[in-house]
Structure 1
Amino acid sequence: MPVDRLLPTEEARDLVKLTQEIADRVLAPKVDEHEKTATYPDGVFATLGEAGLLSLPYPEEWGGGGQGYEVYLQVLEELAARWATVAVAVSVHGLACHPLFAFGTEEQKQRWLPDMLGGSTIGAYSLSEPQAGSDAAALTCKAVPTGDDYVISGEKAWITHGGMADFYNLFARTGEGSKGVSCFLVPGDTEGLSFGAPEDKMGLHAVPTTAAYYDKARISGDRRIGTEGQGLQIAFSALDSGRLGIAAVAVGLAQAALDAAVEYAHERTTFGRKIIDHQGLGFLLADMAAAVDSARATYLDAARRRDVGVTYSRQASVAKLVATDAAMKVTTDAVQVFGGYGYTRDFPVERYMREAKITQIFEGTNQIQRLVISRSLAR
C-alpha cells in the first residue's frame, strides 16, 4: 500500500513520486532474476544517476540534488521496498562521497566531486578489515609516504561494490594509535589493488561484497582527504549518516514485507473467512504496522536533526537499532503469515527475511549502537 508521507515541499513530493515510478519500472521487474542468479544489475545505477537519485543530500553547486536528509532517506526507503541490494549500494555511494565533500579541499572537490555526484562514477567505503570491524582503531592496512605519493599495503574486508566501484574511500594507518589513521580517495583501477571473490552471502546477492588487497599500491599524495591522522574522525562522521541510510533501507524492507503479508491475508481463507479477519492474525499484522511506523518515525527524527544542524549521533544509532530490529521482526512475521508458502522462494518474503538480517550487522552492529547510546547517556 502507498505510504502516506509527510514531505516538506511540492518538489520533494514530486521527487518521491519520480522515485516510485523509476523503482516500479526499472527495479521491480529485475529484482527476482538478479537476486536468484547473483548477477550484477548493469545499467541500473546509471539510470538512477541520470535521474539525480545518487546525489540527493549534496548541494546543487557540486552537482547534488540539494535535498535534506528527511527527503533523501524517504527516497532510499522507496528504492529498498523494491530492491534492497540496490538501495544499500546507493546508501554506500552517498557515504563514500561524504569524506571528500566534508573534509576535502576546494581543489579536491572541484576535481572529483561533480563526477561522483553526477552519477557517472560509483563509490565504495573501505574501513573494515578481517580483524578490525567494529574496532576500527585496530586496523593494520598501511599507507607509507614515499616522496609525493603514498604506498599502500594490506587487506580490507566487507566492501559493498568491491571490484565494481570506480573509487574507494580507504582508511589506512599512517601512524600509531587512534590518531594514526588517514583517509584516501583511491581510484578503482589503481595498480597493485586487487579484489577477492564475492562473498557467498545470505542475501543482497546482486551487488558483490569483497575483500580488497593492496600490494604496494601507489597513489598520489593529493588523494589524501583531510590531514594525516584525521581518518577516524572522518570515518565516524560519515558513519552517522550511513546509519541513517541503513535505517531507511530497513524500513523499506519492512514495509514491503508488511504489504505482501496484508495482501496475502486478504486473499487466503481458512475456516470460511479471510485470514486477516481472524483476530490472532489481524493483531500480528497490527503489530507489524506499528513497528514499521515507529521505525520510520525514528529515522525521520534523526534526519530532521541533521538537517537543522544539531547533534544527531545518538539519534542515528537509535534509528539504526530500532529500524533494523523492526525489519528483522516484521520480515520474520511476514513469513509466518504466509505459512509454509513463506518458506519457499515462490514469494518474496523469504528474501526480505534474509536481507533484513544484514541490516542489524553492517554500519556498526546493533550491539555497537547500544554502546554508542549508553555512552551518550553516561556523558
Structure 2
Amino acid sequence: MLPRFQNRIVNNLEVTLTQPPNRVPLADIPKYGSWAFLGFGALATVGGVFLTFQDPAGLVLIAFGLVFAGAGFLIRRLFGTPAGKKAIVAESHSRTVSRLDGAGTRSRATVLHVDADATDEEVAAAREAWASAQLGQRPDWVSGRVEEKGRRSRGIVQAAAVLWCVLAIVLGVLGATVDQFFLFAAALVGVAAVALVFVAIRQALRERAFGASTFVMERTPAHLGETLRGRVITGVGVKQRAAVDFEVRLQCVDRWEETRHSGRDDRTSRPRRDILWKEQRTTRGVPDQTEPRLVVGIEFDLPMDVPATTLGGSNEGVVWELEVSASLPGLDYVAEFDFPVVAPPES
C-alpha cells in the first residue's frame, strides 16, 4: 500500500552543506531549533520560579519561558518529522552561485514524510506519486500540448497594469490635495504602470496578429540524456509568409532570489536568472497538415550534467524554456514555453 506523505520545501542560500550517506539535507534544523527554544524556555521558567520567591517580577520571566517553550513545541510540530514518520528527499539541487559580495553554495530540497516502516519500494512509489501530483498541476504538461507563457500570464499582466494605473491616479490626487510628497510617489508608480501597460498592449497585439501557439511534445515529460522531439504550431499563417526562418532557443535556467545585507537592518533582494545550459539554431517553418499555419520542428539532445525541472511549486528553482521567434514585417513573432524535464528512469 502506498504510504501517505506530506512535503515541505527547504531553501538554503549561501551555505555549504555536507551530506553524509542516507542523510536528509537540512532535516535536523527544525529539531535543533526546537531544542534551543525548549531549552531556553525551560531555563527561563525554572529561573523565574526561583526568582519569584524573592521578587514578583519573576512571574514575567516565567511568562517568557513558557512562550519560548511553546514556540519550540510549535517548531517541532510544524516543521519537524512527525512521530511514526521518516523524512526522504523528493528532489534536491545544489550548485555554486556568484553574488555581488562573493560566491557561495545555494541548496534547495523538497522533503517528504513517509511512514517510518516504509520499504524501499514504497519510498520509490511515494516519490513517483509526488512527482505525478506536481506534474498534474499543469494539464498542458500532462497532455504534452504546452501553452505559451504569454497566454497563461495574460490576465495577470492586465490586472497588474490596471491596479498600478489606479494607484498612480490615487497618489496623484493625494499629491494635489494633501501633500506634494505623494506626487513623487505617483511619478514612480506611474513609470511602472506605463511599463505594464506597454507589455499588456504588446501581448494583445501579438495575440491578435498570431493567435495561440502550442508546443506539441513527442514525449512528456522529457528526460535528461535523451532527445527532445516535438513541434511548435506557430501563429504565423501560410498566407502571410510562405517561407520563414525561425530562431529556436532552448535553455535551462536557475531562478533564485539573491538577498544582500549591507547593514544591520538594511536588506535588499533581487531576482536572478542564471543560464546553466543553452543551445540555439535556425529552422525553416513548414506548413501544418491540418491548419494553414507554419510549424517548427524541435529536436535537441538534452545533456545529462544539468538539473531537471524543479517540480515543487515555487517561483524559484530550475526551469527549462523554449523560445521560437521570427523577424516579420510590422510585428515580430515570439512564443515562449516552459516544459517539464526529469531525470532518466532508473534501470
- TM bracket, shorter-chain basis: under 0.3
TM-score using structure 2 length? 0.23
Higher helix share: 1
Instruction: Indicate the structure (1 or 2) with the bigger Cα radius of gyration.
Output: 2
TM-score using structure 1 length? 0.21
